[in-house]
Amino acid sequence: MAHHHRSKNYRLIQGRVVSDKMDKTRVILVEHIMIHPLFKKALRRSKRIKIHDETNQAKEGDLISAVEMRPLSRDKRHRLFKILERAK
């Protein structure tokens, strides 16, 4: 029987925690900059993503890294990977 090895190419996202009011769930704001195709102006785009935080260790304002995983609920598809910077 062949064993399949998972690749080490994890899909990571970085964002700032904007809400820690739920239990084991954090909402992060992921921002990226795109260039408008016609006007060549830099536009800031953002998305709010719910992530799973099993130990409730990320607090509001922290910069975190999250990894993609199987769906845990209707909204959660990422879990906390590492806290990169604590809120000041």
pTM of the predicted model over 0.95: no
Tokens representing 40 are: 């060549």
* Opening angle at CA 12, ends 88 and 69, nearest 5: 115
Contact 64, 78 (CB under 8 A): no
Extract the runs of DSSP E, i.e. beta strands, from the chain: 12-19, 25-35, 42-52, 63-68, 78-85
Q: For domain 12-85, is the CATH number 2.40.50.140?
A: yes
Q: What is the pLDDT of residues 32-84, one digit of tens each?
A: 999 999 999 999 999 999 999 999 999 999 999 999 999 999 999 999 999 99
